């Protein structure tokens, strides 16, 4: 059985939203993540299970891409327009992400980790 660790929806650069998702999600707190050769900045973030956040990915140089398989995230990071993902993690854990678009010699070394902690009361 596939355990879904998060609810994810990808926003286009114009902010338009796939049908069926709750528009109020777009007012969720935003976390901006820069991609560059050869790092994500910040390289790790901590989210809380059950709390919706918006992740905004910006490239500072060449096109990148980020995949976080455990959270069903796989988006290009072109720089302009930015890429945004609205995510509501549902389970605690550490989820590793990587750049999936070749961006240079040390492309393999770009790493990203999402720590999801249990919901606080």
Distance from C-alpha of 49 to C-alpha of 47, rounded to nearest angstrom = 7
Compare residues 67 and 92 and give the one whose CB is closer to Cu ion.
67
Task: Establish if 33 lies at the interface with Cu ion (CB under 5 A).
Answer: no
Task: Establish if 37 lies at the interface with Cu ion (CB under 5 A).
Answer: no
E strands within 37-107?
39-41, 44-48, 53-59, 64-68, 73-77, 83-89, 93-99
Task: Establish if 87 lies at the interface with Cu ion (CB under 5 A).
Answer: no
Task: Establish if 107 lies at the interface with Cu ion (CB under 5 A).
Answer: yes
Task: Establish if 66 lies at the interface with Cu ion (CB under 5 A).
Answer: no
CB 8 within 8 A of CB 85: yes
> What is the contact surface with Cu ion in residues (CB under 5 A)?
99, 103, 107
């Amino acid at each position: 059985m596939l355990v879904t660790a998060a609810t994810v929806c990808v926003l286009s650069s114009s902010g338009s939203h796939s049908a069926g998702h709750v528009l109020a999600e777009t007012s969720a707190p935003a976390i901006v993540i820069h991609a560059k050769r050869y790092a994500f900045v910040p390289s790790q973030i901590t989210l809380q299970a059950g709390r919706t956040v918006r992740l905004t990915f910006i490239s500072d140089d060449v096109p990148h891409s980020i995949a976080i398989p455990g959270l069903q995230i796989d988006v290009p990071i072109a720089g302009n327009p930015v890429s945004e993902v609205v995510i509501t993690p549902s389970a605690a854990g550490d989820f590793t992400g990587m750049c999936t678009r070749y961006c240079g010699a040390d492309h393999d070394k770009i790493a990203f980790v999402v720590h999801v902690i249990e919901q606080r009361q």
